[in-house]
Amino acid sequence: MTRLLLFISLVLVACTPVQQATDQAGRSTAKTILPETLAIYFPQVPKEFFQPFTDCIVDNADASEVQSLAADAVTGTDQGTADTVRAILARASTQQCLAAAVPGAAVPL
């Protein structure tokens, strides 16, 4: 029994770097769709703010949102992409990130 628990613990420890790498790859892919989404669905965001908005959106997205945005990077932006971004922008943590990254910028919702 002890060996089984030790084996399971080692497997779980080995999975953590894989999960982190997968999450990072998904976040990097998700970032590729956001400038287009911001330009189409959030025209009030100036182009020079696309990078900080992109970073704050992806940094505050949960795993399912990252997966959705990464999939949209393949299929293209649509209203569902905009809805996901809008939900992330509505979070206090995202607004705080944007306030720090782009002082005085209005957060579109």
Q: Using alpha carbons, list the distances in angstroms from residue 82 to 3, 14, 54, 57, 63.
A: 49, 36, 13, 12, 17
Burial class, 22, CB count within 10 angstroms (exposed 0-12 / middle 13-18 / buried 19+): middle
DSSP structure class, residue 43: T
Give pTM, 2 decimals. 0.78
- At 56-109, the pLDDT tens digits run 999 999 999 999 999 999 999 999 999 999 999 999 999 999 999 998 776 776
Please say whether the beta carbons of 29 and 73 come within 8 A.
Answer: yes
